[in-house]
A and B are shown apart, each in its own frame.
Chain A
């Protein structure tokens, strides 16, 4: 593991008014890694993802994406975000556009592609998530799992170098999480670098290259899934992972 990290987060702090959410968070991610980020609610997971793609730029600390320090002054945030795909808990599909339109709009408006080219690429991305037959449907006509898969296709269309998933299955009925996790697993297999905030421990065990446990705005412990689940260094990690694994067991 001597390659340059694709993403390097160095001592990031983030406050909202008087509330400090991230308190010196550091993490390096190698190309093609799948990092599953877990932690109790309020530990700063979503905030961290929004710092990484500069939706909420860090209060202090630095972040590098590939060779570029994206937190440096004068960096064009819009351009940085094109390289970072983001998938949200509540999908946030554009309600006035069809599935195809949702994938196409970034291609025509941001990547400035011609309609025909954008259409073909969008169809290809929908194919990747298995939704070509739903291309003409509007978000309100899709199931939750389908919406999330369209959202993944929309992010993929921008040709991201890394993908952030913010609890992608939390808003889904249990029987719909599978189709989304499958798509994510496929992406991981194709070599996409991913940071996934999720409490799907089955996914973490099978797909993650690393599990990071964060609490109180910092990394408590990280390691390969097997080590994290079986012999974590800290009792706190063990207790938390046991709790969410048990909860998951109850649901299924």
Chain B
């Protein structure tokens, strides 16, 4: 036991540094993914047919191939085309593009589940299609997308671990390096697993709060009674 506590004492600073990097990658990638997913999701539902096809191809590409391959292509493949990225940039870009595809799909589902009458009523008071999307459809769809989006945040926190293959010093990479330095892979990976669980748990609790906060009064009523 004392040996484990000593080990923990030695590795914790490194793991905390890794955690900061992991959070940074997750946050930037999620924001980038949102910046991509929002217009892509809207375009896939309300855009002209040709645009829907193009955006559909993007989504299929990133949902249909392993994240690891995407990361290799961005970091090792694109330099052949003259596009060179630093490690962190490659991580942001790959995870952001990947997350964008998933976020677009979640949003598409949410947009399609807003009843058609909402659009009709908005048009009937003289709103243009885009005004209706912005003021009426999106505020409802974004509420509906929150549970799926929470899953995406959680998946992202763990997906960041792939960046160890391009040696970004995130939590996973730190774990790998520290476990070979101290010859104690199992205790260290178990500790790292606990780190991830704490991160995911904290994010989950925060997002539940957000969901509750933006809930439309009277619509379901279950959050209040559950709380």
CB–CB A81/B126 < 8 A: yes
Determine chain A's interface SS by DSSP, over half rule.
Answer: mixed
CB–CB B140/A158 < 8 A: no
User: Which single member of B126, B143, B216 contacts A110 (CB below 8 Å)?
Assistant: B126
CB–CB B136/A82 < 8 A: no
Interface code A28-72, partner B: CB below 8 Å = 1, 0 otherwise?
Answer: 000000000000000000000000010100000000000000000
Which residues from chain A contact B127 at a C-beta distance below 8 Å? 78, 106, 109-110
CB–CB B124/A53 < 8 A: yes
CA distance A90 to B126 in the complex (A): 19
Q: Quick one: closest B residue to A108, CB to CB?
A: B135
B12 at the interface (CB under 8 A from A): no
Q: Quick one: closest B residue to A50, CB to CB?
A: B120
CB–CB A95/B219 < 8 A: yes
Q: Quick one: closest B residue to A84, CB to CB?
A: B124
CB–CB B217/A106 < 8 A: no
> Which residues does B use to contact A, with CB under 8 Å?
115, 117-118, 120-128, 131, 135-136, 139-140, 143, 216-219
CB–CB B217/A110 < 8 A: no
**Given contact pairs A88-B117, A94-B118, A141-B217, a sample of 7 additional A-B residue pairs in the complex whose CB atoms are under 8 Å apart:** A78-B127, A81-B123, A85-B124, A88-B124, A92-B120, A109-B127, A109-B135
13 A–B contact pairs at CB < 8 A? A55-B123, A78-B123, A85-B124, A90-B117, A92-B115, A96-B140, A105-B136, A106-B127, A110-B125, A110-B131, A138-B219, A141-B218, A155-B125
User: Which single member of B118, B126, B128, B218 contacts A106 (CB below 8 Å)?
Assistant: B126
Which residues from chain A contact B128 at a C-beta distance below 8 Å? 78
CA distance A208 to B139 in the complex (A): 39
Q: Quick one: closest A residue to B219, CB to CB?
A: A140
Closest CB pairs A-B (n = 7) = A140-B218, A82-B126, A92-B121, A141-B218, A92-B117, A106-B125, A86-B124
A79 at the interface (CB under 8 A from B): yes
- A residues 86-102 near B (Cβ < 8 Å) are 86, 88, 90, 92-96
Which residues from chain B contact A53 at a C-beta distance below 8 Å? 124
User: Could you tell me the distance in whole angstroms from the C-beta of B177 to the nearest C-beta in chain A?
Assistant: 49
Which residues from chain B contact A95 at a C-beta distance below 8 Å? 118, 140, 216, 219
CA distance A95 to B125 in the complex (A): 16
Which residues from chain B contact A138 at a C-beta distance below 8 Å? 216-219
Q: Quick one: closest B residue to A89, CB to CB?
A: B117
Task: Determine which residue in B125, B127, B128, B135 has the highest number of CB atoms from chain A within 10 A of its CB, and name it.
Answer: B125
CA distance A94 to B133 in the complex (A): 12
CB–CB A94/B122 < 8 A: yes
A154 at the interface (CB under 8 A from B): yes
Which residues from chain B contact A141 at a C-beta distance below 8 Å? 217-218
Which residues from chain B contact A109 at a C-beta distance below 8 Å? 127, 131, 135
Which residues from chain B contact A88 at a C-beta distance below 8 Å? 117, 120-121, 124
CB–CB A78/B126 < 8 A: yes
CA distance A79 to B125 in the complex (A): 9
User: Which single member of B125, B135, B139, B140 contacts A154 (CB below 8 Å)?
Assistant: B125
